[in-house]
Structure 1
């Protein structure tokens, strides 16, 4: 009988204008350097081309990696991330977008150690941004606050998220721009405050093809209204103000 890995690295992948295989390859290469090795990689692939599949095959002898073709779902990150999580076997789920990477070789060890502590159900990792995969800029220690669902993101991308596998929490597939804040809000409601790993462990790659660069004002308005209808406007300090700010900003 096979033993479930401690951690599943859940990677939603797609063509990314032809660069998907290259970005994924760099991320997988960095995973081979991790000191902690009890993990699997699950790649949910929404590509139309073969780049992602070829990259996964190239690392099959160096990583425990499983590619799952996923062309029937919504072509967006929230649905693709959910599919990766559904196919994961690990006791801890670690989200990692294909153009991001773990920039510290102790990252998975730190994640594993955090979940050994009683009460740890979800954890957030320190991050930075990079343009060249070498220079790390704007280091960021995740900070929770009650306006996170409105897009005031003091946590960073979903690549900093790890959570216990035995849960019923999923990215909302009606969201793209606010998918991360909504997920953080759901985790907080279910589990309470996150464990914060303050070291810079994740590098978020900045490039022209990233999804956030193409978010329209119309989409922002739609998602702000959807978020208000989904969770209501609470009595938390600044909640109404946050909604109005983001909605009016999206009007231009």
Structure 2
């Protein structure tokens, strides 16, 4: 009798790290505990100095799951994310950030939706927030609700696309991506330091629909030491780069009001960035 069960492709759980010793064991153990098989764990580390690599090596030795650890020369978070992908062997990429947690059936449920629907650009789920600072505004981390199969172009055409919060999809920990899609639309934009996650997902949305699971399958931790949290409190080049990038990549799909807003944000962001650089240079030369 022929086996009618679907082919179960390898899923690479990619964990980019940098000084993540505080939470890393919890993150990796949640990856090891996945009910879905086959999986591999791929760690790309940006020269951590706090014992991150030692923790990863210990858990690797204790596990029978394929476990790859790579040391990476720091070139920004996007470069580290891309490095993890490039070293992966799986047909699917499941990101897990060093301070986040996967529910044990996270990948299982995502892959079940994938088996039922071919050619999805990615699958995203809801997430539970772990808030470790009263200074963080939780309202800026809203959770959108979509249909089980959602048109990506519909998201890009929304009149509120660039209104806060600007990530209308979810953080990378919430997302499962076919590696073939990444090879099709390109890797994370390393010129961006804060907006690279949703810029990447919007590129996918331009060409694909995506799957949505209305369940909290991951836990996303919010604390003051997060790179994105630090960037949000600084003047970064994303302020002018992300508006012009979205205009260039998706102009034909964007709502007219969004086009106007992006053009305004590009000019104001460029002015703010240039002004901050001049002030910094002035202070340094005093």
TM-score range, shorter chain: 0.7 to 0.9
- Structure 1 stretches lacking a partner, 5+ long: none
Residues 225 and 94 of structure 1: is their aligned pair in 2 closer, same or farther, counting only changes over 3 Å?
A: same
Partner of 1:106: 105
1:140 to 116, 140, 143: 143
1:125 aligned residue: 125
Out of 239, 245, 248, the residue aligned to residue 258 of structure 2 is: 239
Match of 1:202 in 2: 218
Residues 157 and 142 of structure 1: CA distance in aligned 2, closer, same or farther (over 3 Å): farther
State whether structure 2 residue 23 is matched by structure 1 residue 9: no
**Residue deviations 1:61-94, cap 9 Å, x none?**
22421111111x51x2211111000011111111
Deviation at 1:230, TM superposition (A): 4.1
TM-score, structure 2 normalization: 0.73
Structure 2 portions without partners, runs of 5+: 1-7, 133-137, 147-151, 274-286
Deviation at 1:181, TM superposition (A): 1.4
In structure 2, C-alpha distance between the alignment counterparts of 1:58 and 1:42, rounded to whole Å:
14
Equivalences for residues 218-233 of structure 1 within 5 A: 218-228=236-246, 230-231=248-249, 233=251
Secondary structure of the corresponding residue to residue 10 of structure 1? strand
Contact 1:139 1:200 survives alignment (8 Å): no
CA spacing shift, 1:119–1:218, aligned 2, 3 Å: closer
So what's the TM-score if we normalise by structure 1?
Answer: 0.82
1:125–1:196 Cα contact (<8 Å) kept: yes
Structure 1's 248 and 200: CA in aligned 2 closer, same or farther, altered over 3 A?
Answer: farther
Q: 1:188 aligned to 2:190? A: no
Q: Which structure shows the higher helix fraction?
A: 2
Q: Is the 8 A contact 1:5 1:40 kept in 2?
A: no
**Which residue among 48, 66, 70 is the counterpart of 1:68?**
70
Aligned length: 237
How far did residue 34 of structure 1 move?
2.0
DSSP 3-state at the match of 1:67: strand
Distance 1:152 1:139 in 2: 10
Query: Residue 173 of structure 1 corresponds to which residue in structure 2?
Result: 190
Asked if 1:158 is matched to 2:157, the reply is no
